[in-house]
Chain A
Amino acid sequence: SQKIEQNSEALNIQEGKTATLTCNYTNYSPAYLQWYRQDPGRGPVFLLLIRENEKEKRKERLKVTFDTTLKQSLFHITASQPADSATYLCALDMAGGSTLGRLYFGRGTQLTVWP
Chain B
Amino acid sequence: DTGVSQNPRHKITKRGQNVTFRCDPISEHNRLYWYRQTLGQGPEFLTYFQNEAQLEKSRLLSDRFSAERPKGSFSTLEIQRTEQGDSAMYLCASNEAGAQETQYFGPGTRLLVL
Please report A residues at the B interface, Cβ cutoff 8 Å.
4, 9, 32, 34, 36, 41-46, 49, 89, 91, 93, 99-108
Contact = CB atoms under 8 A, between A and B. Distances in A.
A32 B97 CA distance: 15
A46 B44 CA distance: 16
Contacts of A107: 40-42
B42 A89 contact: yes
Q: Which one of A4, A43, A100, A106 has the greatest number of beta carbons of chain B within 10 Å? A: A43
Interface string B72-114: 0000000000000000000101010110011111111010000
B48 A101 contact: yes
A58 B21 CA distance: 37
Nearest to B95: A101
Contacts of A103: 33, 43, 45, 103
B58 to A, nearest CB: 8
Contacts of B43: 44, 89, 103, 105
Contacts of B101: 32, 34, 49, 93, 101
Given A101-B95, A106-B42, A107-B40, A45 B31 contact: no
Contacts of B41: 107-108
B110 A41 contact: yes
23 contacts: A32-B101, A34-B102, A42-B107, A42-B108, A43-B93, A43-B105, A49-B101, A49-B102, A89-B43, A93-B101, A99-B98, A100-B56, A101-B33, A101-B48, A102-B48, A103-B33, A103-B45, A103-B103, A104-B45, A105-B35, A105-B42, A105-B43, A107-B40
B40 A46 contact: no
B102 A43 contact: no
A45 B105 CA distance: 7
A38 B52 CA distance: 29
A46 B42 contact: no
B24 to A, nearest CB: 13
B103 A46 contact: yes
